[in-house]
Structure 1
């Protein structure tokens, strides 16, 4: 790197370090500024191995300043960015827009209505994150209502009910109430009877093909004008299970000439022969369609605001016909676009993930390769970080992209200061030591918290270093926490030079582990398992502890086995 480029790197690193420090009123951190620094300066990327070392020196100088000095220096370097930070601090910062007409209601009431066919994938987190955030903002109410009235095509998984509530707890939210729609069939039947008596529904025995042709031609079904008594009697026969699947349905009367054929006389109830997996519901054969069930429940539970995908706009239009018959007021509706998530090879689909587990291509719902909340939890990512990233997406009707790097950045902000550092070497090359180095290395547990103390790493007569860190002949390297060495005649000779050789930019700093005293580690990652050896203290860490393997990334200790420490990679 030439002197001109180095000066640019130092100048940009200082600006981003000051932005980070002033915004959070805390010391700046290398990990927190690397993303913005490289994003604003793409030409730095080819020097990616050198940038952290240069930035680290700059950050050290920035962190030595008082808050007032940092702010004044930032005002010199980037006054517009400073103004933006201070403008944000003047009031509450709400990434989510205000709910429509929220002031018109005594209490904002919302619902999260999952289909319990499996634990949640990452995309599912958006709904509870946004609803839970709105509940907290408006001091409102929200429930979880399991929409489980399709025991055939979207068959519930009995374990999913608790699994979803566990996922919700992981995200940091507790519902005010929890319901299962399959417990409420008698309520739906009663409302169907009332709708029939109002002349708003009729029983239909047309085949699907027959009705589709009539509907598309804007022609009424021949059963549409049955008298109320006949419809009620046939609906009771449906409830009693007198019909086979596909033999009879109950339709809501709408406008048979409506410009949108999907809204013409839609099905409210149908017969299903497959028993529900929940024992309490297994005897029922007449099941409501989601638009009827959900519409009735939203009214009875006093839901004031519904958030749903823009692809479900027709659901609101169908339900409004029912609401009009009953003279109910329809809730406020917010439609949003789909969220696309990067970083995964596995499709974001509960059924797809379930199939891969059944085929033993994934170890389970918490496999690090699975795009699930259980996987992120096992990797050591906090639910709060996921919520923060999801809330930042807002409620736009356009499809939005969520980069997992934004989740990682939010999590890094939460865990970096409290997470101790350790050394891990992958595919290590063994190098003998010479020149009488210290018998023990004492790198700090955390570079920003001297009070936590140091690690005690026995050195021995040789070390392991990563292949990319192997020095060239006669090159010097700094073994972090130990000292300066020169690679001479296949031996790392201790030189005794002080840290100034690093500050002057002549010597690379690398991590290492003692060859004889290191412990084996298996690190499970989204790209597959990685084997390595860690400093000996890692073997004494407890399950669920988070560590940062220096120059590699964060990892959660999963378990200690007889022959190795198993960790789950969190993120860089």
Structure 2
């Protein structure tokens, strides 16, 4: 092979080796390089015996470079190919589909509109996870708007406003702006007056039953043709609180013969006798329905994209009637299906959870059995793990299932490296030691990070084992970090054998704690509390620390005290 051909082989081999290494974020592989190299360069094929040797040398040089140096070199040799890889990487990393119409908007503006009737359960996390991810994707904007204009049926909880903002922060987001609908009633009243002037609304004193019969028959309400002056007068009386609940409503004129009865002359305002729990709103009695309030706010706040459940498709259709009266352009709407979460026996419903808490069946919103964000946070599960799992569900109109194992896997990736290992024995069986074992055990703090060293565990005269780990008569076990023992005459006799007995598969490795110096600890789990004892080193941690109880799972230390500690179980 002449020098020019050899140089050409090296040049092309380097390009393909760099492509292979960068694409797979690993060292290049000679076999993986040979296929595209020979395919792109037919002239090399007659020298097939010599090419692999040249490629091997080139691959070795490429593998000596770090990933940044590889990218720099490929940008010099083949910038177009590098750009293609980076574009593919960006596309692969995007969890969500492109937003329709996003490129035409000056700024993508979205809203998270919770009803503040309690802290968020896991299902609620989907909305902030998705709109927060879209904000980052499009360098956009999103707000939190508390839709709290139902003081009776979905009565707001005064503590929920701050609790929801804390949950949002836990998920990794902060709203660009926050609104409270019950602060904006005068705005809704003004737009109702404008709607009356436009001939788009009328006051109605029909009973719910009477109006339902007319609506279903496609017949107009007898109040539909009132003069605007009369409607204004009666609407003012509503605002002034002169009517009782159910006595008068303000309806939006739509199409009384619309094929969907739910869209026929829907209610915009009604009277509510129950005072709002917020002092600032407690005097109001005339309250907007969500479809009216939300539609007005979306326009005034400048929302460009709305994401809502598929069960709310009629809401968009109702709101479009109002938008048509005001000659407004309706935002882009994405409807998605419901998300179902496994692993819980408790219904994922704010009202149901509140009832269980009030009845004492749950200890609070952060009870490990509760499917709430407060519970997951207390268990040591990071909000980022939830956000990634929820965003990964996409925005399909079909109902989707979320396995908690997906959240656990994400969380494991986030916490594994930094979580020290410790021993915890559930309902332990105490066994004496014999044969002069070491006075102190030294298991690793982390099996993948030798540089962190070991932890010192005093041994004493006896250890506690989990009952299932107690060996049979004359059988051997390896107490992790301590050594090999044989169960003889109701004691564990130290044998002094090397770790080879474990490597040969003859001896099981078990965790343990010293009987005398271990720490009583309650492990709170989704199935209930588990009592046990932990190695004394847990007292070195602050409350809130996450560690792994070996052979049990990851936990968050909630209370660290010598006479009784508490940990919350996260996941395996």
* TM-score (normalised: structure 1): 0.85
Equivalent residue runs for 1:40-189 within 5 Å: 89=89, 91-189=91-189
**What residue number does 1:536 align with?**
536
**Worse-matched range after superposition: 472-481 or 550-559:** 472-481
Supply the distance in 2 between the matched residues of 1:552 and 1:531 (Cα, whole angstroms): 13
Q: Distance in 2 between matches of 1:118 and 1:292?
A: 23
**Aligned runs of 1:53-452 on 2, under 5 Å?**
89=89, 91-452=91-452
Shift of residue 489, structure 1, vs aligned partner:
2.2
Matches within 5 A, 1:453-464: 453-464=453-464
Q: Shift in Å at residue 560 of structure 1?
A: 2.4
Corresponding position of 2:515: 515
Residues 503-512 or 559-568, more deviating: 559-568
CA distance in 2, matches of 1:251, 1:482: 78
- Name the structure 2 match of 1:559: 559
For 1:536 and 1:226, locate their aligned partners in 2 and report how far apart those are by CA, in whole Å.
80
Give the distance between the partners of 1:292 and 1:178, measured in 2 at CA.
Answer: 19
Provide closer, same or farther for how the CA distance between residues 68 and 398 of structure 1 changes in structure 2, counting only shifts above 3 A: farther
Deviation at 1:23, TM superposition (A): 7.6
Aligned residue for 1:387, secondary structure, equals helix
Compute the displacement of 1:309 (Å): 0.2
Deviation at 1:434, TM superposition (A): 1.6
Give 1 or 2 for the bigger CA radius of gyration.
Answer: 2
Report the Cα distance in structure 2 between the residues aligned to 1:23 and 1:515, rounded to whole angstroms.
50
Secondary structure of residue in 1 paired with 2:142 = strand
How far residue 540 of structure 1 moved from its aligned partner, in angstroms, is 2.7
Displacement of 1:25 in angstroms is 6.8
Indicate the residue corresponding to 2:3 in structure 1: none
Superposed CA RMSD in Å reads: 1.8
Aligned to 1:469: 469
Cα distance between partner residues in 2 of 1:386 and 1:357: 24
Mapped partners of 2:63, 2:160: distance in 1: 52
Q: What is residue 505 of structure 2 aligned with on the other side?
A: 505
- Corresponding position of 2:76: none
Aligned to 2:59: none
Give SS of 2:416's match: helix
- 1:437 deviates by 1.1
Q: Distance in 2 between matches of 1:556 and 1:90?
A: 34
Deviations 1:409-430 (A, max 9, x none): 1000000000000000001111
Q: 2 CA distance for matches of 1:372 and 1:162?
A: 15
What is the DSSP-based 3-state SS (H/G/I as helix, E as strand, rest coil) of the residue aligned with 1:256?
A: coil
Q: Render the CA deviation track for 1:350-370: whole Å, top value 9, x for unaligned.
A: 111111111111111111111
Q: For the structure 1 residues 242 and 337, does the alpha-carbon distance in structure 2 shift closer, same or farther, using more than 3 Å as the test?
A: same
Structure 2: give runs of 5+ residues left out of the alignment.
Answer: 1-22, 28-61, 65-84
Q: Is the 8 A contact 2:538 2:560 kept in 1?
A: no
Note the C-alpha offset of 1:407.
0.7
1:281–1:90: structure 2 CA closer, same or farther, 3 Å change rule?
closer
SS in 1 for 2:356: helix
Q: CA deviation at 1:541?
A: 1.7
Which residue does 1:50 correspond to in 2? none
Contact 2:519/2:562 (8 A) holds in 1: no
Q: C-alpha separation between the residues in 2 aligned to 1:505 and 1:153?
A: 64
Q: Is the 8 A contact 2:203 2:223 kept in 1?
A: yes
Q: Tell me, what secondary structure is at the counterpart of 2:375? A: helix
Is the Cα contact below 8 Å between 2:539 and 2:561 reproduced in 1?
no
CA–CA distance in structure 2, aligned partners of residues 228 and 87 of structure 1: 59
Q: Displacement, 1:539?
A: 2.2
* SS of alignment partner, residue 361 of structure 2: coil
Separation in 1, partners of 2:498, 2:484 = 7
Q: Secondary structure at the match of 1:209?
A: helix
SS at match of 1:418: coil
- Aligned counterparts of 2:159 and 2:461: Cα–Cα separation in 1: 54
Whole-angstrom distance in 1 between the partners of 2:514 and 2:212: 74
The 10-residue stretch of structure 1 (275-284 or 558-567) with the greater mean CA deviation from structure 2: 558-567
Q: C-alpha distance in 1, partners of 2:505/2:533?
A: 28
Partners of 1:293 and 1:280 in 2: CA distance: 18
Q: Describe the superposition over 1:543-565 as per-residue Cα deviations: whole angstroms up to 9, x where unpaired.
A: 01111000000111111245211
Partner secondary structure for residue 214 of structure 2 = helix
- When structure 1 is superposed on structure 2, of 370-379 and 484-493 the one drifting more is 484-493
Q: After the TM superposition, which parts of structure 1 deviate over 6 Å for at least 4 consecutive aligned residues?
A: 22-26, 85-88
Q: Which whole-Å CA distance do the structure 2 matches of 1:150 and 1:91 have between them?
A: 42
Q: Distance in 2 between matches of 1:536 and 1:399?
A: 48
- For residues 145 and 421 of structure 1, do their structure 2 counterparts lie closer, same or farther at Cα, with a shift above 3 Å needed? same
Give a deviation string over 1:194-250, Cα, whole Å, max 9, x none. Answer: 111100011100000000000000000000011111111111111111111101000
Tell me, in whole angstroms, the C-alpha distance in 2 between the residues paired with 1:367 and 1:172: 22
Structure 2 residue 481 is matched with structure 1 residue 481: yes
**Equivalent position of 1:15 in the other structure:** none
